[in-house]
Structure 1
């Protein structure tokens, strides 16, 4: 069953239900930050949950999981940029530790492009910078998505659209 709260952000007030979902991240700790297939950023927050798939026995995922897909991002300190999605993957892997084991102090969404900023309690900030220009025709991948502890997934896509739908944990590969 799919539940879409808002399909297109046309005014600032459309962000209210969106913000209610992502505000659940505040206070959660990022205990794992890494790169997935294609060097996409994946962050695990909150309670550690064992995977149910036999192939993943002994591994854990976060109650909250943030993933990027073809979206530029950067991690900033108060005085400089620490690392960006454009850096070499080995450098990225080394510098992701700046946000690991840090709690989320605030979450902000920019209107109208739905750029996400996550501010950590150690004064580092992760900024996701979606390219809201039309992508390739027929491709409908989200710029970023957040899996929640409520078996739902929030997906943000092109044209300032988003959806909040049921996620099937059995098919999740993150």
Structure 2
């Protein structure tokens, strides 16, 4: 298990990010709230689940980038999609900027390979954390910027509240959880990934 409190200077942090380089983009999916999950690598199907509407199999990639407690900006071609990111960040990536339906309108080429995963420190008034930029071979890019931490709420008696990571990278080797703040944690997978 690896844990640290600073971005890229550590070799371990960088090696976890390098697992995504070279992987092909598959698809993205919106999760609850404004979370976005980008799937890369080999297409996998989860176990069959029975629902009242019939059988269902969850589709996912062997690698996924989960944008959790963060702003995100996705640039693909001339389109820029954002999750309520500050204007100066969106405008630096290009116009037009709009929220749009990123899951249905995005034009990242299926099969475009990840060419770079670049972490960067975020040091703004209310935010100190680790952001990340992912570049793809078709010229698309994804930028993740941590949001201000919310004040902690008291946990109901007998329960534990867990911090939500700013973003996570899941790979066959494990899960890299980054944030909140300038900390990260890598949990190695103890069993083979489900197919």
For normalisation by structure 1, the TM-score amounts to 0.79
SS at match of 1:17: helix
1:60 is displaced (CA, Å) by 2.4
Rounded to whole Å, the distance in 2 between the matches of 1:35 and 1:149 is 22
1:68 is displaced (CA, Å) by 1.3
SS at match of 1:25: coil
Change (3 A) 1:35 1:7: same
SS at match of 1:20: helix
SS at match of 2:106: helix
The aligned residue for residue 147 of structure 1 is 170
Higher radius of gyration, 1 or 2: 2
SS at match of 2:33: helix
> CA offsets, 1:60-79, max 9 Å, x none?
2111011111310102358x
The aligned residue for residue 96 of structure 1 is 106
How many residues align? The count is 162
Determine which structure has the larger helix proportion and give its number.
1
Structure 1's unaligned 5+ residue stretches are none
Structure 1 stretches of 4+ moved >6 Å: none
Structure 2's unaligned 5+ residue stretches are 85-97, 123-128, 154-161
SS at match of 1:93: helix
For normalisation by structure 2, the TM-score amounts to 0.71
Instruction: Answer yes or no: is 1:41 the counterpart of 2:36.
Output: yes
The match for 1:83 among 74, 81, 84 is 81
Instruction: Answer yes or no: is 1:25 the counterpart of 2:41.
Output: no
Instruction: Answer yes or no: is 1:121 the counterpart of 2:144.
Output: no
1:146 is displaced (CA, Å) by 1.1
The match for 1:50 among 42, 45, 48 is 45
Rounded to whole Å, the distance in 2 between the matches of 1:159 and 1:135 is 12
Determine which structure has the larger strand proportion and give its number.
2
